[in-house]
């Protein structure tokens, strides 16, 4: 129930940007549960950029997911 969420970040994304919520859910499902289908290359490029800055892959995915996949905001979130 997005109006009474256990995870406010996920609920906010679901309510504010359903398309991005779906992309994120697909990304996480493919990465963490080995779901099939084509990978989202745009999102993976952002993950790789943070990894190149010395961030672990899981930390990069988490920071990007929590920041609407905005690389600048995710970078500030990690290093700020």
Kind plus residue range of the DSSP H or E element containing 76: helix 71-79
Each residue's pLDDT, cut to its tens digit, for the chain (80 residues) gives 556 656 777 788 888 889 999 999 999 999 999 999 999 999 999 999 999 999 999 999 999 999 999 999 999 999 99
In a domain, 67, yes or no: yes
Residue 3, domain member (yes or no): no
Q: Which domain holds residue 63?
A: 8-79
> Using an 8 Å Cβ cutoff, are 29 and 38 in contact?
no
pLDDT value at residue 6: 64
Q: Residue 33 and residue 8: Cα distance in Å, rounded? A: 22
Neighbours of 9 (CB within 10 A): 13
Residue 1 is assigned to a structural domain of this protein? no
Task: Write down the pLDDT at residue 10.
Answer: 78
Number of domains making up the chain: 1
CA 78/CA 76 separation, integer angstroms: 5
Q: What is the pTM of this model?
A: 0.86
């Amino acid at each position: 129930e997005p109006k009474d969420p256990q995870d406010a970040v996920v609920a906010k994304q679901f309510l504010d940007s359903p398309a991005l919520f779906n992309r994120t859910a697909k990304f996480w499902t493919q990465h963490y549960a080995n779901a099939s289908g084509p990978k989202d290359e745009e999102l993976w490029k952002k993950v790789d950029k943070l990894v190149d800055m010395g961030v672990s892959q899981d930390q990069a995915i988490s920071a990007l997911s929590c920041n609407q996949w905005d690389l600048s905001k995710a970078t500030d979130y990690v290093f700020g």
